Structure 1
Amino acid sequence: MSQPTNSKSKTTQWQLIQLAMSFLTRIPMPIRFTVTNSHLNKASRYFALVGLILGLLLALIYSVFVMLLPASLSVILMMALGLLLTGAFHEDGWADVWDGFGGGWQVKQKLSIMKDSRLGTYGAAALFIILLIKYQALVLLSESFSTVLIAILLGQCLSRVVATSLIVSMDYVSEDTTSKVKPIAMHLSFKSLMTLILTGVILLLLLIVFNLIALQTAIIIVAVLLILRSILIRWFKYQLGGYTGDCLGAAQQVSEVAIYLTMVSLL
């Protein structure tokens, strides 16, 4: 239960990390202050860090399973536990986007469909396809133990860099100000953007320095993500004129898959 704090007290960076973890995952966090939109906006700088932590947890889970089971089973069990850890937060956004974009003609219709908790045909098909692609790509990458672990780390971290960074390039849209929508960060300061990007850069540099990934591979992955980011911005602007929380979830999912597919193509 959140407890109010003195309005003059400053939220620490550790508290913002806890908030980011609580927002993106189902991992219990001791949030002992009243959360405001401002807090969530500031916490968004740590979304890539949360992705890195999730990547480490999933890599560990895979490592344990693969000692006992075939790689293909280990991958699907890891994915299942990953869904439990995040509450299928981003997958839900991916499905909602496809339901809305596929079933609506006007922006108002699309937003209304995206708010609906029911899963439609477009969303179900899109969810099935992306999970299948993710599974098959990770199975192919699992031919090399170190490669699949690196892919998991990059996929979880860099995909959240791309998704969160979209906030600075588009306006937030909603059907109306009283609609029941998922809480979402709506502003990303320059400092927060730099923190977000540096998290991904530091991860890539560490992998390169320790010869866990080739410099050329890192450059190609970054290039693919930059191109994908540009496409996503154009797509969301064309469909809605901006972004919603579901759009950011969809961006995370497609960015994660893009990383896996890029690494498969470079095998």
Structure 2
Amino acid sequence: MLRREFRACLAAIGFFTRLPVPAAVGYSADLLQHATRWLPAVGLLVGGIAALVCLAALQLWQQPVAVLLAMVATLLATGAFHEDGLADTADGLGGGWDKAKILAIMKDSRVGSYGVVALWLALSGKFVLLCAVDRSLLPWALLAGHVLSRFAPLVLLATMDYARTDDQAGQTSKSRPLTARLSFGALAFAALFPLLAAWPLPWPQALAGAGLAALATLWLMAKCRRWLGGYTGDCLGAVQQVAEIAFYLGLLAHWPA
């Protein structure tokens, strides 16, 4: 049992990042479906890299430089996997007028104006927000943001259907193995990681961040359900990005007394 879970965790790292994993882990659709519950744990690894780079950079430079280097480190670690999904989703929902057209646009490898704007807003937004986080909390904010935001796509996997048909998905679709419903037991297991990552943060700020991330996730879920009748792999990436930004936004909010 433990060996199977360890292999599933390594499979999740291999699929959702560019970090090397042993070749013996192998690959199969069944293994990846089981590995999806470990996505927040992947966030723990990616967020840990960001936090360590940030801590090291803060010894030499001001906070904006540390934030920039931490963001670069996460982009290198993931290969901009989720950012690519955000751009494709923005292009599809922004330029399509029905399900077939939206899916066709999202499958196109070219990035359109909606995708460019979405990427610029996401990257610059994260930079501005993280620069505003208290210096002492910044590494913990990075860690929690990456973990919690990777729990958000699992809510779609547990509650929504895959939007593409087999013909539309194709054999090379990067999200093809993620079409099975995630069990609520697996969702509950995955929820342990955000709780662990957010523990060092002040609880009112952590709750505000989690609450805003939940609202952002529900908003994007509603758009995907309305226009696509479900999710695609690109939608999962977009949800991760939106939830991460919303978490930082909630973390910084000053609520009126």
8 A contact 1:100–1:110 mirrored in 2: yes
Give the TM-score normalised by structure 1.
0.88
Question: Structure 1 pair 202/65, CA: closer, same or farther in 2 (3 Å)?
Answer: closer
Number of the residue aligned with 2:104: 112
Query: Number of aligned pairs?
Result: 251
**Percent of aligned pairs sharing the same letter:** 36
- What pairs with 1:198-213 in structure 2 (closer than 5 Å)? 198-204=192-198, 206-207=199-200, 213=201
Question: Structure 1 pair 10/214, CA: closer, same or farther in 2 (3 Å)?
Answer: closer
The counterpart of 1:138, out of the listed 126, 130, 133, is 130
Higher helix residue share:
2
Number of the residue aligned with 2:22: 30
Q: Mind listing any 5+ residue stretches in structure 1 that lack a counterpart? A: 1-8, 208-212
Shift of 1:225: 2.5
Number of the residue aligned with 2:245: 257
Number of the residue aligned with 1:228: 216
Mapped to 2, the partners of 1:14 and 1:127 lie a distance apart of 33
Number of the residue aligned with 2:58: 66
Number of the residue aligned with 1:168: 158
The counterpart of 1:214, out of the listed 175, 179, 202, is 202
- Of 257-266 and 41-50, more deviation after overlay is shown by 257-266
8 A contact 2:208–2:251 mirrored in 1: no
Mapped to 1, the partners of 2:60 and 2:135 lie a distance apart of 14
Number of the residue aligned with 1:147: 137
Q: What is the root-mean-square deviation in Å for CA atoms of aligned residues? A: 1.9
The counterpart of 1:197, out of the listed 175, 180, 191, is 191
Mapped to 2, the partners of 1:154 and 1:203 lie a distance apart of 5
Instruction: Report SS of the residue matched to 1:35.
Output: coil
Deviations 1:50-93 (A, max 9, x none): 10111111100011112112211221122112111100000000
- Of 64-73 and 85-94, more deviation after overlay is shown by 64-73
Shift of 1:216: 2.1
Mapped to 2, the partners of 1:216 and 1:197 lie a distance apart of 19
Mapped to 1, the partners of 2:2 and 2:147 lie a distance apart of 27
Shift of 1:189: 2.0
* Structure 1 position 158 matched with structure 2 position 154: no
Number of the residue aligned with 1:248: 236
Shift of 1:145: 2.2
- Of 14-23 and 76-85, more deviation after overlay is shown by 76-85
Mapped to 1, the partners of 2:73 and 2:196 lie a distance apart of 27
Mapped to 1, the partners of 2:186 and 2:224 lie a distance apart of 22
> Structure 1 stretches (4+) deviating beyond 4 angstroms?
none
8 A contact 1:111–1:175 mirrored in 2: no
Question: Structure 1 pair 95/118, CA: closer, same or farther in 2 (3 Å)?
Answer: same
Q: Mind listing any 5+ residue stretches in structure 2 that lack a counterpart? A: none
Instruction: Report SS of the residue matched to 2:31.
Output: helix
8 A contact 1:112–1:175 mirrored in 2: no
Shift of 1:129: 1.1
Question: Structure 1 pair 112/138, CA: closer, same or farther in 2 (3 Å)?
Answer: same
8 A contact 2:10–2:25 mirrored in 1: no
Shift of 1:147: 1.5
- What pairs with 1:176-187 in structure 2 (closer than 5 Å)? 176-177=166-167, 179=170, 180-183=172-175, 184-186=177-179, 187=181
